[in-house]
Amino acid sequence: MTKLRVLSGMQPSGQPTLGNYIGAMRNYVKLQHTHDCYFMVVDLHAITVPQDPGALKEQTESVAALYLAAGIDPSQATIFLQSSVSGHAELGWLLTTLTYMGELERMTQFKDKSEGKESVGVGLFTYPSLMAADILLYNADLVPVGDDQKQHLELTRDLAHRFNGRFGDTFKIPQGYIPEVGARIMSLDDASKKMSKSNPNAGSYIAMLDAPDVIRKKISRAVTDSGREVKFDPVNKPEVSNLLSIYSAVTDQSVEEIEAMYAGQGYGPFKKGLAEAVVALLEPLQQKYKDIRESGDLQRILREGREKASEQAERTLGEVKSKMGYVIL
């Protein structure tokens, strides 16, 4: 039986966070054994907001190395850079011409990122059409993402239907793969905002590469409430519920088990336990990360990934262009 295809990506626009790991990356690792997987670093998406060239290069390599450190095995899954496969930009343009302004205007991520800005780049606006191209180029069946990408995935599905309706059956209609626990990890300083690598307050997130003592400090300072009961109640106790979700995702214990473990103990021991669980998860990953960066293997792995991804992308793009009426030479 042919394996279902999985595709996903992460932006190299800052330090990847525990939110990125729990919401997406750890599912990449799980899916690689049973699916035909493509994981990319979406460096074309990163420049929808200004990036310093030196920082972009470093962060791109860093995200790729984190994929490997988290356990993605290049002999099982294809790891590549979005910018190294020119088909992304090309199909991105073709799909942009099928996208309506109103659809992009409704995107909450665009609204959030453009709010209060004097000038907003066009790329930030058309970003979701490029994301649709990323997914449809590989005819992905499943797209593991966090909750914040649901709306972009819906648009991808709409564009696939629209293309198929207008030019004949071409694209598969992809499904999201969104975890039950941890699809939306919130900030440590404000449980109404998602944990984000672009938050200027580094205390609001745990970066995957934060040193153990930094992790301990950030968790001990995480906002809670004036109560002392460790209880999952997102409406009345959003901060504690967020920490419980992180705890559960990181240890694979159920929320109920964790509640029972800390019953009657207050927040201190709970936060300490959480900090140690996060350190236990990230410390070995950080050691592997260091080894990978030092090994010099990254370039080769990304080049091999590019070869495999390009082959697939070229095939789809050829079919798309021919169906749209382009002269194929």
Strands 5-10 and 36-41: parallel
Stretch that binds ligand TYM, among 129-137, 242-250, 264-272, 280-288 (CB under 6 A): 129-137
Using CB under 6 A, pick the residue from 74, 87, 92, 146 that binds ligand TYM: 146
Stretch that binds ligand TYM, among 138-146, 162-170, 255-263, 279-287 (CB under 6 A): 138-146
Which of 29, 31, 42, 301 contacts ligand TYM by CB under 6 A? 42
Query: Which structure tokens are listed for 84?
Result: 């190294």
What residues between 208 and 247 interact with ligand TYM by CB under 6 A?
none
For ligand TYM, the nearest residue by Cβ is: 23
For residue 131, state whether it binds ligand TYM (rule: CB under 6 A). yes
78 near ligand TYM, judged by CB under 6 A: no
User: How distant, in Å, are the alpha carbons of 127, 246, 248, 254 from that of 188?
Assistant: 28, 11, 16, 21
Could you list the active site residues? 113, 194, 197
Min. distance of Cβ 224 from ligand TYM in angstroms?
Answer: 18
Residues 159-198 close enough to bind ligand TYM by CB under 6 A: 183-185, 194-195
Nearer to ligand TYM, 90 or 229 (CB): 90
Cα–Cα separations (whole angstroms), residue 248 to 35, 60, 251, 255? 25, 29, 5, 6
40 DSSP β-pair partners: 9, 80
Q: What is the smallest separation between the CB atom of 63 and ligand TYM, expressed in angstroms?
A: 8
φ/ψ of 240, rounded to 5, equals -65, -40
Alpha-helical runs (H) found in 17-121: 18-20, 26-31, 43-46, 53-70, 87-96, 101-105, 108-114
On whether the CB atoms of residues 140 and 174 are closer than 8 A, the answer is yes
Residue (82 or 286) nearer to ligand TYM, CB: 82
Nearest distance in Å: CB 90, ligand TYM = 15
- Lay out the site mask for ligand TYM across 7-26 (x = CB under 6 A, - = otherwise): xxxxx-------xx-xxx--
* Three-state secondary structure call for residue 186: strand
Tally: H helices and E strands in the chain: 14, 5
Closer of 23 and 87 to ligand TYM (Cβ): 23
* Pair 200, 232: CB distance under 8 Å: no
Q: Alpha-carbon distance 210 to 15, whole Å?
A: 9
Q: Does 45 bind ligand TYM (CB under 6 A)?
A: yes
Q: Closest approach of Cβ 141 to ligand TYM, in Å?
A: 12
> Binding ligand TYM by CB under 6 A: which of 90, 103, 141, 148?
148
Shortest Å, Cβ 296 to ligand TYM: 26
Would you say 104 or 261 has its CB closer to ligand TYM?
104
Partners of residue 143 on adjacent β-strands: 176
| CB-based contacts of 106-114 (< 8 A; 24+ apart in sequence) | 106/151, 107/151, 107/152, 107/155, 108/151, 109/148, 109/151, 109/152, 113/49
Considering the complex, state which of residue 106 and residue 228 has its C-beta at the smaller distance from ligand TYM.
Answer: 106
4 Cβ partners below 8 Å, 6+ apart?
Answer: 35, 36, 141, 142
Which residues of this protein are in contact with ligand TYM, per CB under 6 A? 7-11, 19-20, 22-24, 42, 45, 131, 134-135, 143, 145-146, 148-149, 152, 183-185, 194-195
